Chain A
Amino acid sequence: MPGFTHLHTVSGFSARYGASHPERLAERAVERGMDALALTDRDTLAGTVRFAKACAKAGVRPLFGAELAVAPPESGADRTDTSVRRDRRRAPVRGGAFVDESAPRVTFLARDGARGWADLCRLVSAAHTAEGTPLLSWPDNHADGLTVLLGPDSDVGRALTAGRPDRAARLLAPWREVYGDALRLEAVWHGREGTGPGSLRLASRTVGFAAEQGVRPVLSNAVRYADPGQGEVADVLDAARRLVPIGATKELDSGEAWLKDAGAMRHAAERIVESAGFRRDTAHRLLEQTRATAAECLVDPEDDLGMGAVHFPEPHLVGAGRRTAQRALASRAAAGMVRRGYDRRPGRREYWERMHHELDIIAHHGFASYFLTVAQVVDDVRHMGIRVAARGSGAGSLVNHLLGIAHADPVEHGLLMERFLSRERVVLPDIDIDVESARRLEVYRAIIGRFGTERVATVAMPETYRVRHAIRDVGAALSMDPAEIDRVAKSFPHIRARDARAALEELPELRELAGERERYGKLWALVEGLDALPRGVAMHPCGVLLSDASLLSRTPVMPTSGEGFPMAQFDKDDVEDLGLLKLDVLGVRMQSAMAHAVAEVERATGERVDLDAVPEGDPATYRMIRSAETLGCFQIESPGQRDLVGRLQPATFHDLVVDISLFRPGPVAADMVRPFIEARHGRAPVRHPHEDLAEPLEGTYGVVVFHEQIIDIVAIMTGCGRGEADRVRRGLSDPESQGRIKVWFAQHAAANGYDAETIQRTWEIVEAFGSYGFCKAHAVAFAVPTYQSAWLKAHHPAAFYAGLLTHDPGMYPKRLLLADARRRGVPILPLDVNKSGVAHRIELVPESRKARSRKPDAWGLRLALSDVHGISEAEAGRIAEGQPYASLLDFWERARPSRPLAGRLAQVGALDAFGANRRDLQLHLTELHRGARGGRGDQLPLAGGRKTASAGLPDLTSEEKLSAELGVLSMDASRNLMDDHRTFLRELGVVSAKRLREARHGETVLVAGAKAATQTPPIRSGRRVIFSTLDDGSGLVDLAFFDDSHDTCAHTVFHSWLLLVRGVVQRRGPRSLSVVGSAAWNLADLLEVRREEGLEGVAARLAAAGGSREGDDPEGGPARRRLAGSDGQPAPAGSAAQDPMEQRRIRMSTGYEMHPWADLRPAGEGPAVGRKLWHQSPGSAG
């Protein structure tokens, strides 16, 4: 029996409609004996590339299409009746209006190769130009290369549903006029009753109508999911799309819309033709028509979609003029050589040779336009006065350096072109550029302005269902209580939806929830059913497509929701497959922060700091780095990095490069850190497998850290050349090819005269570290801003913190940066409407203000208006512009703040200059507000000129002031919030972070503080470790919780903000210190108990919580040995979840294993956000 071709199939890329991934559909099509399969997603072609690849793998021919909502022809006589009724509907007082899905939908299939694909792209793009939901207007609705299926949801189908063949005939006329012979009528039978879509009667009416009108009918199954039984998932998706619970529209999914095999479809065809009044054997004519339609739709993924080909912007757009791009590139590179003075240096021969060598490679691939394009973009960005830096392997190319794209000199740092591009490498090279995050969109606009919208588009990023969103959508569909949905969803870490049930069983912090899992019925199964389905699409934060003028005929483009940039529907992997040139323009907040810091220094002191020219090897900077107090410094501020920096003690730029490279999951996992540090501090000898390899391994004490070193080792040992060596290095991560490479390596190395033992030892190194290492070019590119930020922190601390707080670049909450600034002696000046700017500023603090200091003046940090909760840019700007203000009335009238904003300013003391009591100020503001509303100019009661008279209200207590600061600024600006709890902490005998530095290794201590950051990163043993950082005002305490303590601690650690922790001190170096937690309490609760029930209450609480705890083993349980990195032991017994866990470990492509729950963002509220305390604080706060 010949196969059947489904012409109308949607995948999960039809957001909240299709329930199966394109890969699954392609697999099932093959299993069910089909030769071809169409993908016709709703309003999008985003699934095309994945579908084409899956089809090629499975061996089915893909057909491409889309299902679009179509507006009726303008002249349509009867189009107004529905819209009028809609307008008359009353606006709902609650819950919102129904999602309008009334527009008829039609399926378009690309027919004639590239022309069909181009038409399809054009139609999809045109549909997205409409306001609101995508809708194809009638004037755009024409194409030569498309086949159109009018199904049950089309206007014609709806007329037939209504039993109006006359109307259907009238509606068919305009379609026939436009598409003529390419028009088909689509019959669908889902076994429904009545005459609606999916009913037998509509299907037979369609077939009958087609015969009557002389239009060819086709059969489809309007597929929404691959397998039977997924109807419930489709119901959830419908509910999520329509924003109503399941069953609200009464129409549940029929459960029939799966990818049925040929037999089932033949049966359907027979039923349909019979009920249409034809003989049963006419069914084969219906199937024949379907087959013929499918056969016409010939679009080849390689030839017609342009997969595999490359399209660069035309050379004349990138400054080549009439020359070829290659010549323009060569002359620009040579000019760069002269400008940078390399032609006058001693080693100039090396530079020239390298340049010519690189140019040859570029010419070999014909990538010259690409380099010129990137150079053009970088030039444009620099002209706009925006900080820009190249990152990625592109930094290894001298040509890039000469063109001004990359800062660091690759020859000096030993970076290899081959890691970036070589003759042997056929993939598109990739140069990423970092710009200031605050001005990233400006950069986009400049690029679009330079190349035009027909060549530039941003890249899409599908947002897929993960567990939390899946729970929210399923819960809402099942009409669960919103508060409960919220609670359940928030208790999960950000894991995959398909792991929901497994996580319930295995994660200690979900134990409570697991106990009541039965209550939620089929929730869990449905949550897992939504796994990884796209639920929406956003603009990728950094990718920009650059192409020649044919972009729009190869890519469907839609406007982004916020800025209206053109955005291709393909994601970043798809565009690479399609041969579209993607430039990654990353917004880096640190660049913005540094730009702000430099600008502040210049504004306040007149001194111009050129960060790109700061002296290398500055001792003060490295002293600061070695002290591990690197909060806020680019790349070296995380707890793990601070620990590593403390052990490594960097002294040169190269050390920083190594440090950044070592702090990657791979090197940490491969335990490269310890040998390196041992060798660096002379505790272990430096070893090389062979003296030939001494040169590449020299800088890193014989430890392989960089990809470049592997390339060199392989090239030296086998003599194969670096391009080939890079290919070999790439092959190392794949276990299959690794075997082949081993043989190849041994043969070639032996041929080069190396003895077997050397080969063996070298291979061990290559094998162990080859795939883990880090690209040195990346590391050098990272280390530049690292050094620059550290230099700023060492030399212009106030400006540095001003930049950090303004652009918030790091992993820590702002209040922690503020605490750090306070510790480093930067005076924190409160918010003041007469002095604060929109952004954080620096200010000279005269001696008298800073009583203890002997120094004459210090630069202080003045807090910014923009940090006030709920302030708009316009308001902040207005306040800053109108300074200074003489009185409250003056401020009110000229700055015109909103009433709530003015209230918040008063609360945090920004208006203290106008009167002493903050609550009295509130009252005056209210009256001013009332007066303004009443339209009469009320006069304020004044006392002694400018000050505002007292109204006798109680002032904010100091606790309330702090609470207000946290609530309004999310920062404890006046003092550290832990200061208030000192007495209690002293009672408990808590060790402060400062005193902890003197603690012995192995000592059991109590620590307390506000949680600053929590992570569960992937670590070497494949286990799950919770890392957390506490801030107690005197410094930071880094905590680690191993899985033997998770049962008791995990929930508390994730879900509390103030923590009290008992743990054991771990010491690994003079500056390297952490606490391994064994018990944790919510400090906020304990404080409450202390206040209400006294110490006895606290004792009772501690006894209740800690009584059942197993006896802690102070002298090193298994946990501590693991932290020390020396264990190869299996997991401790007693954990029943071990076995399934072993299977579900995630193997990374680099070969190391990851715990399935080791994820980026753990559950809970995240790091300390000030507003929480606002609610927790006792009594009312102002």
Chain B
Amino acid sequence: MTILCVRFQLPPTREAALPELLGLLEEFTPVVEALPPDGALADLRGAERYFGRDAVELASVLRVRALALYGVDCVIGAGPGPMLARMALRDARPGLTRAVPGGGERDFLAAKPVAALPGVGTATARTLCEYGLDTLGRVAAAPLSTLQRLVGAKAGRELHEKAQGVDRGRVVPNGVSRSLAADRPFDRDELDPDRHRRALLSAAGDLGARLRAVDKVCRTLTLTVRYADRSATTRSRTLSEPTAHSAALTRTAYDLYESLGLQRARVRSLALRAESLTSAEHASHQLTFDPVDEKVRRIEEVADRARAKFGPRAVIPGSLAA
């Protein structure tokens, strides 16, 4: 009962506040693992003894502080291991910490559907349900060899252990590896490639500006296209070098879009996500003899300053101005 799993109730626009919130956790323990975009795991083993309170009480302290300092509520689950803490989180509500007591793991798990177990994806869950193993209690009761036949040797063993409540996970401290997203919805089914490209240009420009504002670069760009029937296609691509340069992001976004070859698809929204963010200081940049590249980057710098002074729409690409 020493691991907390915290999810801050952050609106998407305030993603950037996560590092500060993690700072709150770090006041209790150094062992904090960020779960972007809005969560974290914290190991309170030392803290319990140091502060003389158990994890549930510490969770209350945390909640109060987050509300007082940042006006952000949070949902907290507590458990003996990271996996159980995460699962407890799903039962928790704002204002109420759900804790799994040590020794009560099996009871806690028994009635849960298999899909609730971290690491059990839709495919595995479907397989298990097909064979009537729809709750973790039934999975725990099934022979290990059968489980291994169902989902493979390693996955089967892990599943078996997890279903018994054996949680071998550890909280691994890490820095904030966040991602940024920009979503461009359409108010009706949009098929026009020009409008799509315009939306991508705007989203990529937005991402670039936000990245540069926090001095980050991204390594991977992901495009999610949502359709009228609520389905979606996702494609991601690793950039040739980590960058926050809007032009480079736009180019990649266009490439991703072209690779879909959409014609009659009824697009309802386009979302770009910049992932694997790293600090801009550590990013390398391939210099070229082409002076244009240099000029574009300088213009971007100037435009950023103009935006800082006159608002985000002070400088925008011509095709978006219309």
Give residues in A with beta carbon < 8 Å to B: 89-99, 243-245, 247-248, 250, 478-479, 481-483, 903, 919, 922-923, 926-927, 951-956, 960, 1179-1180, 1182
Contacts of A98 in B (CB 8 A): 263-264
Q: How far is the CA of A922 from the CA of B149 in the complex (A)?
A: 12
Q: State whether B264 touches A244 (Cβ < 8 A).
A: yes
Q: How far is the CA of A926 from the CA of B149 in the complex (A)?
A: 9
Q: State whether A96 touches B230 (Cβ < 8 A).
A: no
Q: How many A-B residue pairs have CB under 8 A?
A: 99
Q: State whether B132 touches A244 (Cβ < 8 A).
A: no
Q: State whether B134 touches A1180 (Cβ < 8 A).
A: yes
- By size class, the interface of chain B is 35 or more
A-B contact pairs, 15 of them (CB 8 A): A90-B261, A92-B265, A94-B231, A95-B262, A98-B264, A243-B264, A244-B191, A244-B264, A248-B190, A250-B192, A923-B149, A926-B150, A953-B142, A960-B132, A1182-B132
Q: State whether B266 touches A95 (Cβ < 8 A).
A: yes
Top 9 closest A-B pairs, CB basis?
A: A95-B265, A90-B261, A479-B189, A248-B191, A479-B188, A1180-B134, A245-B189, A94-B265, A952-B143
Residue B229 CB within 8 A of the other chain:
yes
Select which of B129, B188, B225 is within 8 A of A94 by beta carbon.
B225
Q: State whether A923 touches B150 (Cβ < 8 A).
A: yes
Q: State whether A479 touches B228 (Cβ < 8 A).
A: yes
Which residue of chain A lies nearest to B138 when distances are taken between CB atoms in the complex?
A954
Q: State whether B146 touches A923 (Cβ < 8 A).
A: yes
Contacts of B260 in A (CB 8 A): 90, 92-94
Residue B131 CB within 8 A of the other chain:
yes
Among A91, A92, A98, A927: residue with most chain B CB under 10 A: A92
Contacts of A952 in B (CB 8 A): 142-143, 146
Q: State whether B132 touches A956 (Cβ < 8 A).
A: yes
Q: How far is the CA of A96 from the CA of B264 in the complex (A)?
A: 6
Q: State whether B133 touches A953 (Cβ < 8 A).
A: yes
Instruction: With both chains docked as a complex, state the minimum distance between the C-beta of A916 and any C-beta of chain B, in angstroms.
Output: 14
Give residues in B with beta carbon < 8 Å to A: 129-134, 138, 141-143, 145-146, 149-150, 188-192, 225, 227-231, 233, 258-266
Q: How far is the CA of A247 from the CA of B233 in the complex (A)?
A: 23
Which residue of chain B lies nearest to A477 when distances are taken between CB atoms in the complex?
B189
Contacts of B227 in A (CB 8 A): 94-95
Other than the given A482-B228, A923-B149, 9 more pairs (CB < 8 A) read A90-B258, A91-B261, A92-B260, A93-B265, A94-B227, A94-B260, A95-B264, A248-B191, A919-B132
Instruction: With both chains docked as a complex, state the minimum distance between the C-beta of A771 and any C-beta of chain B, in angstroms.
Output: 51
Instruction: With both chains docked as a complex, state the minimum distance between the C-beta of B200 and any C-beta of chain A, in angstroms.
Output: 16
Contacts of B233 in A (CB 8 A): 93-94
Contacts of B150 in A (CB 8 A): 923, 926
Q: State whether B230 touches A953 (Cβ < 8 A).
A: no
**Taking A248-B192, A479-B266, A956-B132 as contacts, is the C-beta distance between A92 and B261 under 8 angstroms?**
yes
Contacts of B263 in A (CB 8 A): 89, 92, 95-98
Which residue of chain B lies nearest to A903 when distances are taken between CB atoms in the complex?
B130
Q: How far is the CA of A554 from the CA of B279 in the complex (A)?
A: 79
Q: State whether A922 touches B261 (Cβ < 8 A).
A: no
Q: How far is the CA of A91 from the CA of B260 in the complex (A)?
A: 8
Select which of A90, A92, A954, A955 is within 8 A of B264 by beta carbon.
A92
Instruction: With both chains docked as a complex, state the minimum distance between the C-beta of A27 and any C-beta of chain B, in angstroms.
Output: 37
**Taking A245-B191, A248-B191, A927-B149 as contacts, is the C-beta distance between A919 and B266 under 8 angstroms?**
no
Q: How far is the CA of A955 from the CA of B132 in the complex (A)?
A: 8
Select which of B132, B192, B228, B265 is within 8 A of A954 by beta carbon.
B132
Instruction: With both chains docked as a complex, state the minimum distance between the C-beta of B292 and any C-beta of chain A, in angstroms.
Output: 29
Which residue of chain B lies nearest to A927 when distances are taken between CB atoms in the complex?
B149
Contacts of B188 in A (CB 8 A): 245, 247, 478-479
Contacts of B129 in A (CB 8 A): 1180
Instruction: With both chains docked as a complex, state the minimum distance between the C-beta of A1164 and any C-beta of chain B, in angstroms.
Output: 23
Contacts of B231 in A (CB 8 A): 94
Contacts of A244 in B (CB 8 A): 191, 264, 266
Instruction: With both chains docked as a complex, state the minimum distance between the C-beta of A521 and any C-beta of chain B, in angstroms.
Output: 12
Which residue of chain A lies nearest to B192 when distances are taken between CB atoms in the complex?
A248
Q: State whether A1182 touches B149 (Cβ < 8 A).
A: no
Contacts of B132 in A (CB 8 A): 919, 953-956, 960, 1180, 1182
**Taking A95-B264, A923-B150 as contacts, is the C-beta distance between A951 and B229 under 8 angstroms?**
no
Instruction: With both chains docked as a complex, state the minimum distance between the C-beta of A523 and any C-beta of chain B, in angstroms.
Output: 14
Q: State whether B262 touches A94 (Cβ < 8 A).
A: yes
Contacts of B149 in A (CB 8 A): 923, 927, 951
Q: State whether B264 touches A97 (Cβ < 8 A).
A: yes
Contacts of A99 in B (CB 8 A): 264
Q: How far is the CA of A953 from the CA of B147 in the complex (A)?
A: 9
Q: How far is the CA of A926 from the CA of B263 in the complex (A)?
A: 38
Contacts of B134 in A (CB 8 A): 1179-1180
Contacts of B230 in A (CB 8 A): 483
Q: How far is the CA of A741 from the CA of B87 in the complex (A)?
A: 86
Q: How far is the CA of A248 from the CA of B149 in the complex (A)?
A: 51
Q: State whether B266 touches A245 (Cβ < 8 A).
A: yes
Instruction: With both chains docked as a complex, state the minimum distance between the C-beta of B193 and any C-beta of chain A, in angstroms.
Output: 10
Which residue of chain A lies nearest to B126 when distances are taken between CB atoms in the complex?
A1180
Contacts of B190 in A (CB 8 A): 248
Which residue of chain B lies nearest to A99 when distances are taken between CB atoms in the complex?
B264
Select which of B141, B228, B259 is within 8 A of A481 by beta carbon.
B228
Q: How far is the CA of A923 from the CA of B192 in the complex (A)?
A: 48
Q: State whether B146 touches A953 (Cβ < 8 A).
A: yes
Q: How far is the CA of A954 from the CA of B143 in the complex (A)?
A: 11
Instruction: With both chains docked as a complex, state the minimum distance between the C-beta of A406 and any C-beta of chain B, in angstroms.
Output: 54
Q: How far is the CA of A922 from the CA of B264 in the complex (A)?
A: 40
Q: How far is the CA of A263 from the CA of B109 in the complex (A)?
A: 83
Contacts of B142 in A (CB 8 A): 952-953
Q: How far is the CA of A1129 from the CA of B274 in the complex (A)?
A: 74
Q: How far is the CA of A93 from the CA of B224 in the complex (A)?
A: 13
Contacts of A923 in B (CB 8 A): 131, 146, 149-150
Instruction: With both chains docked as a complex, state the minimum distance between the C-beta of A519 and any C-beta of chain B, in angstroms.
Output: 14
Contacts of A960 in B (CB 8 A): 132
Which residue of chain A lies nearest to B129 when distances are taken between CB atoms in the complex?
A1180
Select which of B143, B189, B229, B262 is within 8 A of A93 by beta carbon.
B262
Among B189, B191, B192, B266: residue with most chain A CB under 10 A: B189
Contacts of B258 in A (CB 8 A): 90
Instruction: With both chains docked as a complex, state the minimum distance between the C-beta of A1177 and any C-beta of chain B, in angstroms.
Output: 12
Instruction: With both chains docked as a complex, state the minimum distance between the C-beta of B94 and any C-beta of chain A, in angstroms.
Output: 26
Q: How far is the CA of A98 from the CA of B266 in the complex (A)?
A: 12
Instruction: With both chains docked as a complex, state the minimum distance between the C-beta of A956 and any C-beta of chain B, in angstroms.
Output: 7
Q: How far is the CA of A243 from the CA of B263 in the complex (A)?
A: 11
Contacts of B259 in A (CB 8 A): 90
Contacts of A903 in B (CB 8 A): 130
Q: How far is the CA of A656 from the CA of B287 in the complex (A)?
A: 96
Which residue of chain A lies nearest to B267 when distances are taken between CB atoms in the complex?
A95
Q: How far is the CA of A1180 from the CA of B131 in the complex (A)?
A: 9
Q: State whether B264 touches A89 (Cβ < 8 A).
A: no
Instruction: With both chains docked as a complex, state the minimum distance between the C-beta of A493 and any C-beta of chain B, in angstroms.
Output: 25
Q: How far is the CA of A97 from the CA of B258 in the complex (A)?
A: 14
Contacts of A922 in B (CB 8 A): 130-131
Which residue of chain B lies nearest to A955 when distances are taken between CB atoms in the complex?
B132
Q: How far is the CA of A926 from the CA of B190 in the complex (A)?
A: 43
Q: How far is the CA of A1182 from the CA of B127 in the complex (A)?
A: 10
Contacts of B146 in A (CB 8 A): 923, 951-953
Instruction: With both chains docked as a complex, state the minimum distance between the C-beta of B115 and any C-beta of chain A, in angstroms.
Output: 11
Contacts of B191 in A (CB 8 A): 244-245, 248
Contacts of B189 in A (CB 8 A): 245, 248, 479
Contacts of A927 in B (CB 8 A): 149
Among B142, B229, B230, B263: residue with most chain A CB under 10 A: B263
Q: How far is the CA of A483 from the CA of B260 in the complex (A)?
A: 24
Q: How far is the CA of A99 from the CA of B263 in the complex (A)?
A: 10
Q: How far is the CA of A953 from the CA of B139 in the complex (A)?
A: 9
Contacts of A245 in B (CB 8 A): 188-189, 191, 266
Q: How far is the CA of A245 from the CA of B195 in the complex (A)?
A: 15
Q: How far is the CA of A742 from the CA of B229 in the complex (A)?
A: 63
Q: How far is the CA of A97 from the CA of B191 in the complex (A)?
A: 11
Instruction: With both chains docked as a complex, state the minimum distance between the C-beta of A36 and any C-beta of chain B, in angstroms.
Output: 40
Contacts of B229 in A (CB 8 A): 482-483
